[in-house]
Amino acid sequence: MQTSNLTTIRDVAGKVGETVVIGCWLQGKRSSGKIQFLKLRDGLGFIQGVLAKSDVDEETWAAAQKLTQESSLYVTGIVREEPRSPSGYELTVTGIQTIQVTEEYPITPKEHGIDFLMDRRHLWLRSPKQRAIMVVRAQIIRAIQQFFDERGFTLVDPPVLTPSSCEGTTNLFHTKYFDEDAYLTQSGQLYMEAAAMALGKVYSFGPTFRAEKSKTRRHLIEFWMIEPEMAFVDHEQNLQVQEQFISFVVQSVVASCRTELETIGRDVSKLEQVQAPFPRITYDEAIELLHKEGFDLPWGEDFGAPHETAIAEKFDRPVFITHYPASFKAFYMKPDPTRPEVVLCADLIAPEGYGEIIGGSQRIDDPELMAQRFQEHELSEEAYAWYMDLRRYGTVPHSGFGLGLERTVAWICGLEHVRETIAFPRTLYRLYP
Ligand code: 4AD
């Protein structure tokens, strides 16, 4: 078979009445006596092939009967419009060339346990729901890049191997860099601050790593982050960019991925509500709200997943929690000038219990305060000398944030666990496949 002569399922729309050849896999089949219905997929789409015994030769009929789930084949057929089919088209099959009849395929339409599926992630990806999630993820990335590219941001790639930490030292991935110690990046932020001083508005998109010993439905060891950083932008403007950004991304997915969201079983009306502006509450107000809900959490302690969920339940769209205590937040966050015990930061909590999707802040721009923070956090001034230079040579107010891609995909797709949001998840106990 000349693969250059093939048509993809995506392209059959323009070929009604024509005979086409499609390279595909058999997802499943059913038969009613003298007709076989073949569920075909080529990765780009799905189509039903209808094979009538009276229309084909013995050989084709026999070939179809031998096909098992995930067998690979070339199907020749005439494209027909079929309003009852999800794609709107159907194929009247006239010929079949089998590439491989697959031995018993491990993933059948029956229910499988999660460990069974994760061990076979390389095959599980072929199922319609998993495929749809990957398509939505790709659209989210496209929308993210479109949002920033259209607003004058430049894409900058920070390094993956770093000599020091950004988000504390507890979950660093250590490695050797020849004779030196190095760590896989936890966040590109510090480098993006340098890039913002060169390019004004920048964003990065890349993998980040945290050796977190947390086995929760929101934690991955390797996850992808989008980190915008903006010179001459304060806390308030930072929040405005975030709410416009998230609304843009969600509405872009709603507009482009209806079919996939339906396959995944997502209630789209919940996503349609996601329009800026987003509600905001301070950490103090959040603590008060939690006390009213019966939580016994003293001021000065960080929120866990149950707290975030209780807060999110009060709102129909993402909610910002602002002005956290400086005591448990990162060293680089700028204190509120009117109340230095809290910082000009915000976490954005997704609705429906999906937790924190963004962490961001205005950064300290004063060199003296920054030096003081290095001491308080016991960070080596030598290791961060380059970062200090940003405060020494033309310091300016600046802000930025980091969006966790997998948590965003989990929320937009309505998934129970982040492990389904990335093709090959790295979780606490999983490095295979
Ligand atoms: O709140 P975080 O730790 O913020 C930073 O790293 C900042 N330096 C970002 C910045 O200002 N440029 O992480 C940002 C986001 C979280 O809100 C969450 O969505 C995601 O990254 N995240 C994780 N996602 C999956 N698995 C994990 N282990 C994650 N840790 C953080």
CATH number for 157 = 3.30.930.10
- Ligand 1 neighbourhood includes 25 CB (under 6 angstroms): no
pLDDT, residue 428, reads 92
Range of 59's domain? 12-100
Domain boundary among 100, 132, 167: 100
- Ligand 1 neighbourhood includes 402 CB (under 6 angstroms): yes
Q: Which residue has a Cα nearest atom 18 of ligand 1?
A: 404
Q: Which atom of ligand 1 is nearest to the CA of 189?
A: 12
- Ligand 1 neighbourhood includes 225 CB (under 6 angstroms): yes
Q: Are residues 251 and 170 in the same domain?
A: yes
Q: Are residues 57 and 22 in the same domain?
A: yes
Q: Which atom of ligand 1 is nearest to the CA of 227?
A: 12
pLDDT, residue 222, reads 98
- Ligand 1 neighbourhood includes 401 CB (under 6 angstroms): yes
Q: Are residues 308 and 374 in the same domain?
A: yes
- Ligand 1 neighbourhood includes 70 CB (under 6 angstroms): no
CATH number for 51 = 2.40.50.140
Within-domain flag for 432: no
Q: Cβ(344)–Cβ(363) under 8 Å?
A: no
- Ligand 1 neighbourhood includes 140 CB (under 6 angstroms): no
- Ligand 1 neighbourhood includes 308 CB (under 6 angstroms): no
Q: Which atom of ligand 1 is nearest to the CA of 407?
A: 19
Within-domain flag for 108: no
Within-domain flag for 106: no
Q: Cβ(93)–Cβ(77) under 8 Å?
A: yes
pLDDT, residue 304, reads 95
Q: Which atom of ligand 1 is nearest to the CA of 214?
A: 28
The interface pTM score, or ipTM, of the predicted complex is 0.99
Q: Are residues 198 and 83 in the same domain?
A: no
Global pTM reads: 0.97
**How far apart are alpha carbons 254 and 234 in whole angstroms?**
31
pLDDT, residue 97, reads 97
Mutation to probe ligand 1, out of 407, 426, 428, 430 (largest number of atoms < 8 A from CB): 407
Q: Are residues 80 and 156 in the same domain?
A: no
User: Is residue 90 helix, strand or coil?
Assistant: strand
Number of domains in the chain: 2
- Ligand 1 neighbourhood includes 400 CB (under 6 angstroms): yes
- Ligand 1 neighbourhood includes 191 CB (under 6 angstroms): no
Question: Which tokens go with 336?
Answer: 């509120």
- The DSSP annotation for 236-272 comes to HHHHHHHHHHHHHHHHHHHHH-HHHHHHHT--HHHHH
- Ligand 1 neighbourhood includes 363 CB (under 6 angstroms): no
CA 355–ligand 1 middle distance (angstroms): 11
Q: Are residues 67 and 163 in the same domain?
A: no
Q: Are residues 125 and 61 in the same domain?
A: no
Within-domain flag for 194: yes
pLDDT at 1 over 90: no
- Ligand 1 neighbourhood includes 222 CB (under 6 angstroms): no
Any idea of the CA torsion for 405, 408, 409, 411, to the nearest 10 degrees?
160
Mutation to probe ligand 1, out of 208, 209, 212, 225 (largest number of atoms < 8 A from CB): 225
Domain boundary among 33, 65, 100: 100
Q: Are residues 69 and 211 in the same domain?
A: no
- Average per-residue pLDDT in the chain? 97
**How far apart are alpha carbons 99 and 188 in whole angstroms?**
46
Q: Are residues 29 and 61 in the same domain?
A: yes
Give 301-356 pLDDT, tens digit per residue.
999 999 999 999 999 999 999 999 999 999 999 999 999 999 999 999 999 999 99
Question: Which tokens go with 92?
Answer: 């009247």
Residue with tokens 């507009």, as numbered in its chain: 255
Give 256-296 pLDDT, tens digit per residue.
999 999 999 999 999 999 999 999 999 999 999 999 999 99
pLDDT, residue 86, reads 82
Q: Are residues 52 and 169 in the same domain?
A: no
Within-domain flag for 270: yes
Within-domain flag for 304: yes
Q: Which residue has a Cα nearest atom 4 of ligand 1?
A: 359
CA 295–ligand 1 middle distance (angstroms): 25
Give 365-413 pLDDT, tens digit per residue.
999 999 999 999 999 999 999 999 999 999 999 999 999 999 999 999 9
Residue with tokens 């872009």, as numbered in its chain: 252
% of the chain beyond a pLDDT of 90: 96
- Ligand 1 neighbourhood includes 358 CB (under 6 angstroms): yes
408 contact partners, CB below 8 Å, separation of at least 6: 140, 249, 350, 357
Q: Which residue has a Cα nearest atom 9 of ligand 1?
A: 402
CA end-to-end span of the chain: 32
Domain boundary among 44, 70, 100: 100
What is the residue type of 199?
L
Q: Cβ(68)–Cβ(21) under 8 Å?
A: no
Q: Which residues pair with 77 in a beta bridge?
A: 20, 93
Within-domain flag for 427: no
pLDDT, residue 36, reads 97
Q: Are residues 81 and 195 in the same domain?
A: no
Within-domain flag for 107: no
Q: Cβ(418)–Cβ(218) under 8 Å?
A: yes
Q: Are residues 77 and 142 in the same domain?
A: no
Give 188-238 pLDDT, tens digit per residue.
999 999 999 999 999 999 999 999 998 899 999 999 999 999 999 999 999
Q: Which residue has a Cα nearest atom 23 of ligand 1?
A: 404
